[in-house]
């Protein structure tokens, strides 16, 4: 596997579309996400699937094999993610001896930074401002903001 230096896909991304599943399935358990790390590892979660990725890098593409669980069944496969000219990231995601899906990610910003921005905008008018600010101050120092975003969404009733 090649080094991650110069790869524009490193980050946590929000999966927004799929050819095999609708949006309600993608976000069944939690918001559908793809995390591409710099250390040859990543994660993907959508529907009832949660999997770890072993990554190989190029400047605008990552290749991966994955293993994880889907509805508590062990599953695995391979795929790749590519930054397209239109600003989207297209993920080809294949189950071993099974379905192959095309997932789309809006690359306008990483999921975590976009969530923090929405949360900050809502803080100004929310009756739950102090609780959300406490959450942000606790979780903001770390790179994974899913807990804070989930808390913010629940608190604000969105």
Task: Say how far apart CA 103 and CA 15 lie, in whole Å.
Answer: 7
Number of domains in the chain: 2
Rounded percentage of the chain residues whose pLDDT exceeds 70: 65
Inside any domain, residue 2? no
Tens of pLDDT, residues 60-98: 899 999 999 999 999 999 999 999 888 889 999 999 998
Residues 33 and 74 grouped into a single domain = yes
Based on the domain organization, do 20 and 86 belong to the same domain?
A: yes
pLDDT number for residue 118:
41
Q: Is residue 127 located within the same domain as residue 143?
A: yes
Domain that holds residue 117: 111-156
SS (HEC) of 29-90: CCCCEEEECCCCEEEEEECCEEEEEEEEEECCEEEEEEEEEECCEEEEEEEEEEECCCCEEE
**96 plus 149 within the same structural domain:** no
Domain-embedded: residue 4: no
Cα–Cα nearest to 49, from 109, 110, 99:
99
Residues 136 and 86 placed together within one structural domain of the fold: no
């Amino acid at each position: 596997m090649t080094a991650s230096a110069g790869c524009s896909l490193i980050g946590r991304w929000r999966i927004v579309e799929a050819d095999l599943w609708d949006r309600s399935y993608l976000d069944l358990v939690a918001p559908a996400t793809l995390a591409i790390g710099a250390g040859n590892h990543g994660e993907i979660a959508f529907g009832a699937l949660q999997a770890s990725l072993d990554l190989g890098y190029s400047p605008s593409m990552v290749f991966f094999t994955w293993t994880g669980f889907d509805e508590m069944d062990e599953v695995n496969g391979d795929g790749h993610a590519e930054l397209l000219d239109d600003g989207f990231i297209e993920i080809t995601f294949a189950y071993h001896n099974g379905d192959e899906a095309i997932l789309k990610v809006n690359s306008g910003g990483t999921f975590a930074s976009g969530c923090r921005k929405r949360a900050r905008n809502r803080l100004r008018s929310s009756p739950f401002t102090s609780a959300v600010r406490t959450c942000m101050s606790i979780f903001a120092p770390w790179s994974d903001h899913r807990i804070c975003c989930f808390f913010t969404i629940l608190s604000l009733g969105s």
